[in-house]
A and B are shown apart, each in its own frame.
Chain A
Amino acid sequence: QKEVEQDPGPLSVPEGAIVSLNCTYSNSAFQYFMWYRQYSRKGPELLMYTYSSGNKEDGRFTAQVDKSSKYISLFIRDSQPSDSATYLCAMTDRGSTLGRLYFGRGTQLTVWP
């Protein structure tokens, strides 16, 4: 079993839709949770990060962490065609892993006008 599971999609939604992206994980030591966005033929870029449990909002994006369920989510409100990309979740415990991040496989999202 991979440490981080993420449905690769693809996910296709109309402009203006609410998008929900999710990951589950098995290592209860993970404390930092991140979402990366990767446009076609580019390297991933950090979109949001959350420490421990709770919600974090940044504009149209909301990240949620439920450590009791080992489940994280990214919500995109009022989705735009420019949101079309692959979204990767990542997480780490910082301490024992020497800074290593554990990634999900990524979910490919297309927002059509």
Chain B
Amino acid sequence: DVKVTQSSRYLVKRTGEKVFLECVQDMDHENMFWYRQDPGLGLRLIYFSYDVKMKEKGDIPEGYSVSREKKERFSLILESASTNQTSMYLCASSPRLHGTNEAFFGQGTRLTVV
């Protein structure tokens, strides 16, 4: 069974902290994505990566960075957490060339910044 695993379901951090959200997939997918999901705004793409050490900005990259040192792992970093980064964060992966680019999602991390 395919799996995308996010390291935490719930996280509470203080303003100004550096926050790491980890995502691991076991499907050997080339593409990996980080989204945030907010009521009324839907899924918004923060960053994505189509290969190891490669990254592309999505629609809302400000305040975030990413790291992909290994194919199966994609990390989202909040350099200095702020209250407006309180959200549900979803990681996804997809194969690059075949099929429909179906994305497989993790269960999400609900981050609260206080």
Contact = CB atoms under 8 A, between A and B. Distances in A.
Nearest to B6: A43
Given A98-B31, A98-B50, A49 B100 contact: yes
Main secondary structure of the interface of A (DSSP, over half): loop
Interface of B: 4, 30-31, 33, 40-43, 45, 48, 50, 56, 58, 90, 92, 94-96, 100-108
Interface residues of A, number: 24
A43 B42 contact: no
B7 to A, nearest CB: 14
Nearest to B40: A8
Contact of A99 (B4, B40, B42, B96): B96
Contacts of B33: 100
Contact of B42 (A41, A45, A49, A103): A103
